[in-house]
Every structure is written in structure tokens, then in C-alpha cells.
Structure 1
Amino acid sequence: MKSQSKDKFLTFAVTILLMLCCILLAPISTASASPSSTVYQQRLIHSPDGIGKFYMNREIAKVMGHTGASWLERPSREAEEQPSKIVSALNLKPDDVVADIGAGTGYMSFRIARVLTKGKVLAVDIQPEMLDIIKFLKKEKNITNVQPVLATLTNPNLPAESVDLALMVDAYHEFEYPREIIEGIIRGLKPGGRIVLVEYRGENPFILIKALHKMTQKQVRKEMQAVGLVWRETKNLLPQQHLMIFEKPSV
């Protein structure tokens, strides 16, 4: 009898453990979060560098807050990332309107603004503190064609069909609602407008950036294709990052 009771207890314990594992590993619906929330999954077991939210099987990374602004402006950035090559690779026209999405301190915005002698940069960010830094630097640098834009988690707040090119440098992987933000950018793009993403190469394990802050070209292309963008080119001219160019169809 004792042996039978022990067997029943063990069976019961194993069943409970299996149920707990299923609960922990199963995605949790976020249906009330946003209109397109069915594309997201929330998982209890996730990376400490992520928010536990997954999009197309990719965990979204934690946002670098405004307290990390000094890292964006570090003197070694040009040597490490060669952002001047990014500006050259964009092939901008003097009268273009460029949206720098996740602009941070405006590091890229101000470099692009110098090229746009008749155009402007919309420096878009969700953190008011970052936009305050941009406003300060705008005065200090005496650059008038950079316009700070406060976005939300789901909307970049771009005027409809007003933008020639939208740029995201090491930012997209942190978007809490990537589908909504990209759809908002598409609405803001002119027909034939371009989206350019710069991300640390996730294919290379020797690039010393946390895994969730890198992306493979395959993953980026999959996510952009899901919203109707057309891949045009990937330029691997940077030391550690992909530069991926997509286009909004004209029709």
C-alpha cells in the first residue's frame, strides 16, 4: 500500500511540474495592448536584457534611457562605427526630408542636417529628455533645420507622405511596438520613400554587443517584408553593422 501511495504521489508531482513548465513556457496574449497585438507574445522566461515581449520570434531589447546619452556622444564613436559613412551611403538630395527615428541626442540628425541645405531632419524620439538635449545642441551648433518630434510607443507622429527617408541607427531592436512604429513610418513616407536600418550584425558572435542589441539581416528582412516593404540593398561598409535599405512601393 505504501508503495502504491508513493507511486501515486510521484505521478501527481510529475504532472504538476509538467503543468508548471507549460505555463511558464507558453506565450501570454497581449490582446488588450494594441490593435495589432496578436503579432506579439509575452513570455515569462526571457533574457535579462529583454522585456519578455517577442515579435516574430525575436525578443525585444530593453530601451537605453536618456541616462545613457553620453555613450551616444562618446568621442570614440566615429572610429568604432564610422557614422560618416552612413551619411554618405544615404545618397541624400539637398531638399530631402529625413526622419531620424530613435534620434537620441541627435548624433546622426545633426550630421545629416549639414547635407540638407534646403531640406530638414525630423529628430524623432519617445523620451522628452532626449529631445531637450537636441534642442540644447541645436542652439549650441546653430543648426536650424533639425526639428524635434515627440513620438509615442506606437506612433512616430510623422505627417502623412512627407518624408523621403527614415533612418534608424541601433534603435529598431528596442521598439516596444515595432509593427506599429514601422507602419507609422510607412504612412509618413512618400511613395517610393526609403527606410534604412543600421543594426549590429547578429550573425557575428565576435561583435561584443549584447545579443538582443544585434540583429541578423534575415530577421530584419522578414520583419520589413511583413509590413509590405521591399528590400533593395544591404551595404556592409561599416566595421560592425549592417546598413539595410528598404523601399515603400510607389503603388
Structure 2
Amino acid sequence: MRTLFFLLLLFVLGCGGADAPAPPPEDVYATGNTEEDRDRHVWQKPGLVIEVLGDIEEKVIADIGAGEGFFARRLAPLADRVIAIEIDQRWIDYLDTLRVSELPTSLQGRLEPRLALPDDPMLEEEEVDIVLFVNTLYLIDNPEAYLKKIRPALRPGGRVVIVDWKKEETALGPDLADRIGLSDLAHMLEQAGFAIVSTDNTELDYQYIMVAERK
């Protein structure tokens, strides 16, 4: 009788484990598979940027200009959901493939590629907790207007985290004229209805990090 009870207990525990979501992979901060991804890992310091986001276990994050998914695929195992925003269907198709190939089945639903417009992220009202821009805001034609469209998509207390190129000569990055200076960015955010929380111009070699909160 005891043997039967023990076998039944093992069966129940085994079934429960099969349905439980897999834990985040240990290499979530690790370098990627391609040489370009590995090179970027060195100077981008994704672990540092992710730490700036804070506790994201139950948060929905919009990754604006997700591209090849450098951050989206690292964030998906850690967050409740990551909406990877792109304006080119080819990147959406790529992200869909990446979602299936690089994430375990139990985590694939956490990464949602979404096609948007150059001047509209196509986010619903109060849909996200954090909006992340990495090397993207300077590419937007009217960044202040774009930030104003971002604000309604944030839940109360929601934040925007901007990682962009320093307004100085660096070994990597776009032309100096195309970059957004910290003071200009702070002004844009304030005009768009945000309050600056923190600014870091030293931790990354080529970029600054600015965090702002929805007022």
C-alpha cells in the first residue's frame, strides 16, 4: 500500500512539473550566437541595461525598434511580456522566427513582435509598464511627438528608459549631428509629460541612459 501511495505521489509531482513554465535560461545575459551579437555584447553591456529596468518579473515591456531582438530575447524570459516593436515586416518575420527558435515553448508567448508605424508605436492605452528605446530615438523624425504618443500607453507610474548615443565623438555611433544631447532629451521628455528619474552618462562607453516616469 505504501509503495502504491509513493508511486501515485511521484506521478502527481511529475505531471505538475510538466505543466509548469520553464525557468529563465542561465545564459539570459550571455553573448549571442553571431559574431556581431558577441561584439555588441561587449560594449552594450545588456546586463547593466536590464538591471536599470528594475524588477520586471510581472511587467510588460515595449522594446521600440527591437531589430534583431538583442534585448527582446534577453528580456522575454524575465518579464511578463515583451512587445517587440518594428516598422518593417521583415524584422517582424525575423523576430517571429527567433521567438520559436531561441525560446522554450513555455516562454514563447512572452515575446510578441508587433508591426507599427514610423510615427506611432501602435500601443494600446495603459498597455505597458516600461518603454525601452535602445539606439532608436535618434532615428525617429519627431522624437518629442513620438514620446507624447508613448505616454498614454504607460500604466500609472510607468517609465521610459532611453539608451542612446552620447553627443560626443565616440568610436561607434552615428554622425554627431544626428545624436540627441542629454539636455535636449530631458527637455523633450518634460514637454511630453515625463519627469526625469535618473541620468547615467558614464557606465556605457558610447551611450547614456536616461530614465523618466510618467507624470
Q: TM-score range by the shorter chain?
A: 0.7 to 0.9
CA distance in 2, matches of 1:146, 1:72: 24
Q: Unaligned stretches of 5+ in structure 2?
A: 1-33
Matched to 1:239, the amino acid is D
Alignment map for 1:47-196 (pairs within 5 Å): 73-116=36-79, 119-142=80-103, 143-144=107-108, 145-196=110-161
How far apart are residue 161 of structure 1 and its match? 0.6
CA distance in 1, matches of 2:82, 2:172: 31
Show the counterpart of 2:205.
239
CA contact (8 A) 1:105 1:131 kept: no
Structure 1 segments of 4 or more deviating over 6 A?
Answer: none
CA distance in 2, matches of 1:165, 1:198: 13
CA distance in 2, matches of 1:208, 1:177: 23
How far apart are residue 72 of structure 1 and its match? 10
Show the counterpart of 1:68.
none
CA distance in 2, matches of 1:141, 1:199: 27
Give aligned pairs, total: 177
Matched to 1:74, the amino acid is D
Show the counterpart of 1:225.
190
CA distance in 1, matches of 2:58, 2:212: 20
Show the counterpart of 1:214.
179
The 3-state SS of whatever aligns with 1:76 is: helix
Q: Percent of aligned positions with the same letter in both sequences?
A: 26
Pair 147,139 (structure 1): closer, same or farther in 2 beyond 3 Å: same
CA distance in 1, matches of 2:131, 2:55: 11
CA contact (8 A) 2:130 2:159 kept: yes
CA contact (8 A) 1:155 1:181 kept: yes
Matched to 1:138, the amino acid is R
Q: Unaligned stretches of 5+ in structure 1?
A: 1-70
Pair 231,207 (structure 1): closer, same or farther in 2 beyond 3 Å: farther
CA distance in 2, matches of 1:164, 1:188: 8
Show the counterpart of 1:205.
169
CA contact (8 A) 2:172 2:206 kept: no
Pair 213,114 (structure 1): closer, same or farther in 2 beyond 3 Å: farther
How far apart are residue 73 of structure 1 and its match? 4.8
Superposed CA RMSD in Å reads 2.0
CA contact (8 A) 1:162 1:190 kept: yes
How far apart are residue 97 of structure 1 and its match? 0.3
CA distance in 1, matches of 2:43, 2:171: 11
